[in-house]
Amino acid sequence: MVTLKVFILGLTFWYIYTKVIDTQSQTLDTFFRSLHPERSWTILLFIVLAAVNWTLEILKWKTIIAPVKNISFFEAFKQSLASLTVSLATPNRIGDYGAKVFFYPPDKRKQVLLLNFISNAAQMTTTLLFGSIGLLLVISRYSLSFSTLHIAVFLTALLLLGIVGFLLKEKEMLIKGLSIKNILTYFKKLPRPIKQKTLIYSLGRYLCFSYLFLKILHFFEADIAFSQAYPLIFAMYLLASVIPTLFLLDVVVRGGVAVWLFSLAGVPELTVLCTVLAMWILNFVIPSLIGSFYVITYKPNRS
């Protein structure tokens, strides 16, 4: 267990170090030059908004896990940040699923996995809803054109995905007893207040980190209006969420999506990259460093 903890922490810190080293020196120079003492109140606002974002995520986990166990805010805090630390260097943060289950007894872990999936699905639903609206506005506003072939391929992929989902709805997935049908049945049985609160916290998180992204853009002197920025932000989070990435390319791919979208509005690449870097530090690096303490002090739950 000690060896595993050291490996996880080593991988996490190596990942953070690699991402910082890979960041363009010009981006880092601009980023650090912007951190003037006279702008400390603005930076404090960013930290508060990031803290609100994570508080909502912690409350969401505390809510969704209630059918298994009623846990305190502090316990939800510990589980959420430790899981982030474990998942940071995994593709698409998939390690979060494996990390959270180990805080619960073996006989409850399948249920914990299901609830974690539902929690993440609620967040993704919010992203799809706002992102689709944002993407349509971006396509319309900037007159983006797509060939008939691209549209046909996209619609065909959606159709095939729907057919595969229907055919496999009763097939077990990676874990025995888990199928699409079973997940939907379990979701329907969840108490309505839990489902409503989970969606509300997901919505609150989405609005919080979208607003934070906009404020940081303005901090790095992006000349863009709220009404122009929000569709781009919503579209960015949608595209970044649906693109599968390996952990080594995660920040690169997401940063590339942001640079392309905001270039449509004439926002300089350097400004966007500094914003992406700041968001990554506030929402992932700092919480994962805190979570590393709980990884070190973790004790397996076998009861």
Tens digit of each residue's pLDDT (9 = 90 or more) over 185-215: 878 889 999 999 999 999 999 999 999 999 9
The gap between the terminal CA atoms of the chain, to the nearest Å, is: 17
Q: Alpha-carbon torsion 263, 267, 269, 273, what sign?
A: negative
Tens digit of each residue's pLDDT (9 = 90 or more) over 214-268: 999 998 888 899 899 999 999 999 888 877 554 445 556 667 788 888 989 988 8
Question: Angle, to 10 degrees, between the axis of helix 73-87 and the axis of helix 286-296?
Answer: 100
Q: What is the mean pLDDT of residues 261-285?
A: 87
Confidence of residue 48 (pLDDT cuts 50, 70, 90): very high
Confidence of residue 90 (pLDDT cuts 50, 70, 90): confident
Higher pLDDT, 221 or 3: 221
